[in-house]
Structure formats: C-alpha cells, structure tokens
C-alpha cells in the first residue's frame, strides 16, 4: 500500500510549485484532481520541448493526476469545485493572495464546512507586505533572494534552473504531510501558507548566508562553501574536486606528483600554501590541466580524493549508478510517444514506488468526475453547452 493511499487532493494551480508538490503526493498514492481552465489549461502544457500538445515540463510535473476543465468565473463552476473540495482531504493552490476568496473558494469558508480539510495556499511573496501582489517567477525570486550573488564570479549569475519553484514544491509537500499527521492525531485539518520567497531563502540560508549569520564582532571568518564549487579543466574535459579533510588535501598533493611538498622540511611551506586557497587551487589546477580526465580521476581516486567528471546530460542518463538504482525508465505515452521518466526517489520499506499513470490530456477526466458528483448525462451536457466545464478529452492511461 502506498503511504498516501485513499487521500483526495484537489489542485488549483498553474506552473510548477503546486503541480510538482501534488505529483509527489500522487506518486505516494494520493488521488489528485487537477482543475484547469477550459481554454488552454495550465500554461505549462506548452512550454519548451513538446509533442502532442503536451510539454516535457508539464509531463515531468503532472503524472498520476486526473484533469478536469472548469470555468471558475461562473457561479456554477465554483459550485462544482466546492462540491469536490468538500470531499477532499487536501486542497493546494498557487494563486495570488485573495484570488481564491474572490472565486468563493477560500480556505475559511471551505474549512468551516469541511473541518478535516488541509488547505495549502502557495504565494510568491506572502499574503501581506509591499510585494504581496507582485508576479513571482523563478529568476525574479532568485534575484531577490541572493542566489545571483552566491553564484557570482565576476558578476552576478542566476542558477539556470527552476530552483525556487521546485524547493517550494518540496516544502509544500512536506508541510501537507505534516498537517496530515496532525490531523491523524487531532481529527482537525488546518490552513497552511507558504511563499516562494520564504521557501527559497530557507533553502539558500544554511550555507549561502553563513557570512551573515553570526552578528557578534568577535566571530572568526572562515572559507565560504561556494569556494569549493569550481570546475577544473583537464586536457580533454572538466572535473571537480571536493577535499574536505586534511587527508584529502594531502591526497591532492600526492595526485599531482608533488610529494616533495610532503617532506618534513617543506611542511611549513605546504601549510602556508594550503591556507592560501587561491594559490593552492592554482597549483593543482595547473598540474591537472596537462592530464586527461581519465588520468586525473585515476590519480585522485588512488589518493582517496573525492572527485568527478563534469558530465553532460546524456552522460548522466547513462550513469551506471542510476542504472543500478533503477532511477530512469523509458515509457510509451499515447500522445507524447517514447519518453524518459524519473521514478520517485523515496523508497518505503526498501521498495521503489511503481510509476504513476501518464500525465493527463487537458480535461481528460471531466466527464467521469462530474458523474462522481452525481450529475446525469443531460446535466453534464448542459454544463458543457454553457461552457461551465470543458468536454472530456479522449481518455488514456
């Protein structure tokens, strides 16, 4: 049995934060119903590489779900979604503050009718303050939070990845799971607020803000973690080294063939060199530049120095450890064709979770979910004619 089996999750969201959170819940057994606009659905469906009118990004954030299309601007549409929410265990949304209340789908009203409900509201910057209504996109959030500064070499540099979006998703998934545990003990649900801004800073802070944590003047400054995040060129590629102990630092000296520095009379000079981190890095980088990647890694590993080749994406997908972990699977999608998918990284009882069903076509499950709400075929057709709901796409699994 999957850990979230028999839980019903309703998702009203676009883009990554809530979508990835609910996909993780679906992987763990929850039934997730994704409510999308009739015209076009979630904009993420069309971003980047795509086939069959579904993007790879959407597929990577939405497997295991059902999709229904509802016009939330219509009162009839709001009533349908309310009926679903009153049956749900979890509701998760990522609209700007106040939007769900304007749609008559706010937390307070719903939880008054369904006190078991866990209602998770994700916002960009929070519910109050000068930026509460500002649009929140990952690069903008990175700039606000100092990611660009942490990545800085000669100039600020953004992480070219949806890091704030994804860490917010993980934060939301963990918070909902914690709330489910509280509900198990007390029988009562609760409201959860999460902002991308807070989640992003919480993620970056432990190491990214070491220099800004201690406030007393007698603090002792030390090296920054980020100084160790550098690639080193070989004659045919790039590697990276992570030497965290004295033994590993001495291993670098051995690997580059400078055993003369280990002789007793040279130890003071070696200590001084190692303490001058840029000078020491220049020493071993110059030596490694004349080696091939294979030669450098062989010497470093023989000296027990943690090191790795900087792989490109195709090399990663062929990594033997990922094959041993059975992490990647190639599946057939009815609309998208052959595609790679990544299994859930969590194993329960040592067992991998089986893959969830394919991501849904837009509105694929609208008809069947309306039937579950007790609507007749005529009532469903009337809602379709009034464009309160979208017509179901051809179902597939």
> If 0-12 CB within 10 Å is exposed, 13-18 middle and 19+ buried, where does residue 82 land?
middle
* 335-362 per-position pLDDT tens digit: 899 999 999 999 998 888 888 889 999 9
* Radius of gyration for the alpha carbons in the chain, expressed in angstroms and rounded: 26
**pLDDT by residue (tens digit) across 22-42?**
999 999 999 999 999 999 899
Mean pLDDT of 303-316: 94
pLDDT number for residue 395: 42
pLDDT tens for 327-337 read 999 999 998 99
Q: Are strands 328-333 and 337-342 parallel, antiparallel or unpaired?
A: antiparallel
Q: Which residue has the tokens 């040592």?
A: 350
Domain ranges across the chain: 8-205+325-385, 232-309
CATH number assigned to the domain with residue range 8-205+325-385, chosen from the 4 options 1.10.3720.10, 3.40.50.10540, 1.10.8.50, 3.40.50.300: 3.40.50.10540
Q: What mean pLDDT value characterizes the chain?
A: 92
Closest CA to 72 of 36, 98, 96: 36
Residue 244 has pLDDT above 90, yes or no: no
Label each residue of the chain as H, E or C. CCCCCCCEEEEECCCCHHHHHHHHHHHCCCEEEEEECCCCCCHHHHCCCEECCEEHHHHHHHCCEEEEEECCCCHHHHHHHHHHHCCCCEEEECCCCCHHHHCCCCHHHHHHHCCCCEEEEEECCCCCCCCCCCCCCHHHHHHHHCHHHHCCCCCCCCCCCCHHHHHHHHHHHHHHHHHHHHHHHHCCCCEEEEEHHHHHHHHHHHHHCHHHCCCCCCCCCCCCHHHHCCCEECCCCEEEECCCCHHHHHHHHHHCCCHHHHCHHHHHHHHHHHHCHHHHHHHHHHHHHCCCHHHHHHHHHHCCCCEEECCCHHHHHCCHHHHHHCCEEEEEECCCEEEEEECCCCEECCEECCCCCCCCCCCCCHHHHHHHCCCCHHHHHHHHHCCCECCCCCCCC
Closest CA to 8 of 31, 39, 38: 31
Instruction: Provide the terminal-to-terminal Cα distance of the chain, rounded to the nearest Å.
Output: 20
pLDDT above 50 for 397: no
The neighbouring-strand residues paired with 123 are 195
Q: Residue 94's closest CA among 28, 154, 10?
A: 10
Q: Which residue has the tokens 């609309």?
A: 335
Q: Is the pLDDT of residue 393 over 70?
A: no
pLDDT digits (tens, 9 = 90+) for 188-223: 999 999 999 999 999 999 999 988 989 988 888 877
Q: What is the pLDDT of residues 105-135, one digit of tens each?
A: 999 999 999 999 999 999 999 999 999 999 9
Q: What is the pTM of this model?
A: 0.90
Dump pLDDT digits (tens) for 260-297: 888 878 888 888 888 888 888 898 999 999 999 999 99
Question: What per-residue confidence (pLDDT) applies to 220?
Answer: 86
User: How do 328-333 and 307-309 pair as beta strands?
Assistant: unpaired
């Amino acid at each position: 049995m999957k850990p979230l089996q028999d839980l019903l999750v309703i998702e009203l969201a676009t883009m990554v934060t809530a979508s990835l959170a609910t996909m993780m819940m679906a992987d763990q057994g929850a039934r997730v119903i994704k409510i999308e606009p009739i015209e076009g659905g979630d904009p993420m469906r069309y971003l980047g590489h795509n086939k069959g009118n579904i993007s790879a990004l959407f597929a990577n954030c939405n497997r295991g779900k059902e999709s229904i299309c509802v016009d939330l601007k219509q009162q009839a549409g709001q009533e349908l979604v309310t009926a679903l929410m009153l049956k749900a265990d979890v509701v998760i949304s990522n609209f700007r503050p106040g939007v769900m209340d304007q749609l008559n789908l706010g937390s307070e009203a719903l939880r008054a009718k369904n006190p078991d409900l866990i209602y998770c509201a994700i916002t960009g910057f929070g519910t109050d303050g000068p930026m509460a209504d500002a649009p929140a996109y990952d690069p903008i959030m990175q700039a606000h939070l100092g990611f660009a500064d942490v990545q800085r070499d000669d100039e600020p540099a953004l992480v070219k990845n949806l890091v704030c979006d994804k860490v917010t998703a993980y934060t939301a998934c963990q918070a909902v799971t914690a709330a489910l545990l509280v509900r198990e003990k007390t029988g009562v649900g609760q409201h959860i607020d999460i902002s991308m801004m807070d989640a992003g800073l919480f993620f970056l802070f432990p190491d990214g803000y070491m220099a800004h944590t201690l406030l007393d003047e007698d603090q002792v400054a030390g090296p920054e973690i980020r100084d160790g995040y550098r690639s080193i060129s070989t004659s045919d590629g790039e590697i990276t080294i992570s030497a965290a102990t004295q033994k590993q630092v001495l291993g670098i000296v051995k690997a580059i063939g400078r055993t003369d520095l280990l002789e007793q009379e040279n130890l003071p000079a070696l200590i001084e060199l190692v303490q001058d981190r840029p000078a020491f890095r220049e020493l071993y980088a110059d030596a490694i530049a004349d080696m091939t990647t294979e030669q450098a890694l062989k010497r470093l590993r023989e000296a027990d120095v943690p090191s790795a080749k900087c792989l490109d994406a195709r090399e990663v997908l062929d990594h033997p450890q990922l094959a041993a972990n059975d992490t990647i699977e190639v599946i057939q999608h009815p609309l998208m064709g052959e595609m790679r998918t990544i299994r859930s990284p969590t194993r329960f009882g040592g067992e991998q979770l089986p893959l969830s069903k394919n991501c849904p076509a837009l509105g694929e499950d609208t008809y069947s979910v309306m039937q579950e709400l007790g609507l007749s075929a005529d009532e469903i057709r009337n809602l379709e004619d009034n464009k309160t709901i979208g017509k179901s796409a051809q179902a597939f699994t």
